[in-house]
Amino acid sequence: MPGKSDKPQKGNVVESSYMMKDKKKKFKPHNMYCKDGSKHFAKTYQQHLKLDKKGCGHKPMKKK
Residue type, 21: K
Rounded Cα distance between 9 and 51, Å, is: 28
Task: Read off the pLDDT of residues 5-24 as tens digits, 9 standing for 90 and up.
Answer: 555 454 544 546 767 677 77
Task: Read off the pLDDT of residues 32-41 as tens digits, 9 standing for 90 and up.
Answer: 999 898 999 9
The distance from CA 52 to its chain's CA centroid, rounded to whole angstroms, is 7
Parse the chain into domains and list their residue ranges.
Answer: 29-64
Rounded Cα distance between 7 and 4, Å, is: 9
DSSP 3-35: T--SS--TT-HHHHHHHHHHHHHH---EEEE-T
- pTM of the model as a whole: 0.60
